[in-house]
Amino acid sequence: MFSQKQNKLSSKKVESSDDEEELKELQHLNRNENRKQRKSGGFQSMGLSNPVFKGVMFKGYKVPTPIQRKTIPMIMDKKDVVAMARTGSGKTGAFVIPMLERLKTHNPTGARAVILSPTRELALQTYKFAKELGKFTKLKFTLILGGDKIEDQFAALHENPDVIIATPGRFMHVLSEMNLKLLKVEYVVFDEADRLFEMGFQEQLGEILQRLPENRQTLLFSATLPKMLVEFASAGLNSPELIRLDVDTKLPDLLKLFFFECRSDDKVCVLLYLLHHIIKSSEPTVIFAATKHHVEYLNMVLTKAGYKCSISYSSLDPIARNINVDRFRNRRTNIFIVTDLAARGIDIPLLVNVINFNFPAKPKLFLHRVGRVARAGNSGNAYSIVCADEKAYVLDLHMFLGRTINFVKESDAVNNNVADNLYGLVPQSAIDEEDRLKTWNETVDFKNMLKVTSNAYKHYLKTRNPSSSESIKRMKAMSNEKLGYHPLFARLFSHLKFFH
């Protein structure tokens, strides 16, 4: 009798065990199916909770960008990720959306997520973006930046925010002063990680990592992946998934490139001509200059010419930088003159034009600059004003992109339908049209600023990376070929049969 009961119990246990295994297998299949759906569909198929999904819709996002489609499912599966994507690819949403989904609502036990940014501007932008996206989640966010009152930051941290968005230097300072433990942190993001290293934050990042729990999820977003960063990822991340989206050699599809050659002294006249005749006054335009002194000088010139400008460079007062960025973003100014501090990170919606007043020495820097134009299905333009000592860098860029540069030949007929990626001369008549500059440069203020800018450029040339030997050889070989005028200046010589 006892034996029969035992057999029945044993039989039930086996059946129960089989049912559990079957249930587990079914759940596993469902999870895989959901993951496939998440990878292939829009935001609605990612399994987002209602508050997060409402935030995404509130921001007006309909379809995930490629980087979001690839990373969000992996991040929601709690994997460590190293993601490489260019500026304007939607990478901020790629780490903010899964963070909101993971944290869900406010928890007073302490910070559970940390996002580290290389600059004040990027951190502030991420903070605003996360708050807007997390509008319906009741999560608390705080911002820890150098240049702000440290007492206010102490107070903000005592309120136990869920998410800390910070620059590494000030964050490490605050951690040390408060002897703050990060025991509850489960989600860490290193945004623009290559820039974090370029700016010398390696030591602070290492110290911050030491304070974090080992069972955290760590994400690293970067435009490039230098050796130092690979070593950092190996030490700080747990078997990370690498996601790469043609970051190095791809330009936006709807971006048009224009290259104009002129004498170095004529660059400002060419810039004035572009703004006066080619670029519409209503179009948001960013001008990249070599040094802060160039930024200040160009600001003087364009202000004198009647343009309203914003400016930004690394040593500008942080409050002034924020004011300038906001003025440009809110369209109170349509021209933003910057050094490469702003080449990455600052989000400027619907930017139409980028002007390289000084051509960048590195192809990747060119990509970072122009990567902010022609986003989200909009077209855009990148104008480069090139002098003799920069020509080899243009050749470097095209070798890097694997594209052929189209030099305008002297015998080419005038064509008002300007083709993309043409390199041509600026007619003297375009420079002569802006002869007002000569008068301005005779005044004391302009003379002094010109002298400072000239000295700064000499120092810049000494520190600039050399162009490749192959490009220098090509440039010398081409020196005997006669270059034609760029067709963008066709109005000045439309009566002629040939460019030059």
Residues contacting 277, CB < 8 A, separation 6+: 491
Instruction: Look at the block and give the residue holding tokens 């080619």.
Output: 278
CATH code at 255-492: 3.40.50.300
Q: What is the pLDDT of residues 107-146, one digit of tens each?
A: 999 999 999 999 888 999 999 999 999 999 999 999 999 8
Among 282-286, 316-320, 458-462, name the one with the lowest average pLDDT. Answer: 316-320
Q: What is the pLDDT of residues 248-290, one digit of tens each?
A: 556 877 899 999 999 999 999 999 999 999 999 999 999 999 9
Identical fold between 44-244 and 255-492? yes
pLDDT at 279: 95
Q: What is the pLDDT of residues 139-182, one digit of tens each?
A: 999 999 988 899 999 999 999 999 999 999 999 999 999 988 89
- Contact between 310 and 262 under an 8 Å Cβ cutoff? The reply is no
CATH code at 44-244: 3.40.50.300
* Domain boundaries, given as residue ranges, for the chain: 44-244, 255-492
Query: Structure tokens of 165?
Result: 């968005």
Q: What is the pLDDT of residues 67-100, one digit of tens each?
A: 898 999 999 999 999 998 766 678 899 999 999 9
pTM: 0.63
Q: Is the pLDDT of residue 58 over 70?
A: yes
Closest by CA to 258, choosing from 391, 338, 355, is 355
Q: Is the pLDDT of residue 5 over 80?
A: no
Residues contacting 330, CB < 8 A, separation 6+: none
Q: Is the pLDDT of residue 457 over 50?
A: yes
Among 6-10, 237-241, 334-338, name the one with the lowest average pLDDT. Answer: 6-10
Which stretches does DSSP call E strand in 411-457?
422-425
Among 61-65, 213-217, 229-233, name the one with the lowest average pLDDT. Answer: 61-65
